[in-house]
Amino acid sequence: MMTDAGREGFGEMPDGIPVERLTLRGGGLEAQVLTLGAIVQDLRLDGGTHPLVLGSDTVDGYLGPMAYFGAMVGRFANRIAGGRFEVDGTVHQVPCNAGGRHALHGGPQGSAQRVWRVVAQGADSVTLALRMPDGEMGFPGTLDVQVQISLPGEAALQFDITAQTDRATPCSFSHHGYFTLDDTGDLARHHLRIAAAQYLPVDDDLIPTGQIAPVAGTRFDFRAARSLHRLEVDHNFCLSPQRVPIRPVAWLDSRASGLGLRVDSTEPGLQVYTAPHLPPEGLAGLDGRRYGPFAGVALEAQVWPDAPNRPAFPPSILLPGARYNQCTRYSFAPVAGASAGPEPRRA
């Protein structure tokens, strides 16, 4: 039932908290945003016949194996080894929700699993807010985070994220959308280019080894556009040693549709995940679609994984009196041939 223009009910959480869906239109796009997890549930070009993201038509879909699809993940995106980190001489233990061994995306009650509060809504933007209390899941500090999701023009989807804390705490948020630029069901016709000369090798648990390795001569060299056909990737690409002014960081295109996507971000890292482990039988998706292996690619702008435990990695601890500011933008446009962009910078 519509509650007002551009705002409707989308179901309830298990505890009865209502979830709303907010419709944004502008700049050649239409986006459906949920108050659950600040999820971008659906995204389409004006006149387009297929979604540009993977999503669910029900709340239940997001409470199961699609928990992070399209969500704003945090308070620390990606992994923290052993769920342990030290801040100001105190060791903190947070839940290990990744195989019972490591913390993932802020734990089992991270920002993706929470219902956010609507602060403001216009025709082409919405601002959502969330308070994460001191001590929640073992994290120090009351963290207040806001995200403005907007359609600023030229077929762009933009995330402006701010956060403040009253105690030093890990802080890194990321939009965990899975993108698909055609309606073929997988990434076979997609090509990706990344402005990164280095990446983070990982162990069998996907925890960084601590090495910052050159991509040259490895399967992680995306400095020229490469096919994603059956390519298993779940790694961080090192864009810079710290947060910087927004700049282009990655380009994706589909040779099937002729559509391209450019990612611009302030963030020092880009986690790329090609979703090889989605079930062969598929997950129930939008408009009756089934999402199997390689159905979409996540391009997650963020601080590097396990940064709270790695002094050589970009800063990841937010201090009282400081302000976390991130801007990440996904822009769609027709392309001809391979993606193009400036030479990658070294981290």
Residues annotated as catalytic are 176, 300
Q: Which two tokens stand for residue 236?
A: 């961080």
| Residues ≥6 apart with Cβ < 8 Å to 301 | 174, 175, 249, 263, 265, 266, 267, 269, 270, 326, 328
Q: Are 270 and 194 in contact (CB under 8 A)?
A: yes
Bridge partner list, 77: none
If phi > 0 it is left, if psi is from -120 to 50 it is alpha, else beta; for residue 65 that is alpha
Looking at residue 266, its amino acid is T
If phi > 0 it is left, if psi is from -120 to 50 it is alpha, else beta; for residue 345 that is beta
Bridge partner list, 106: none
Q: Are 179 and 70 in contact (CB under 8 A)?
A: no
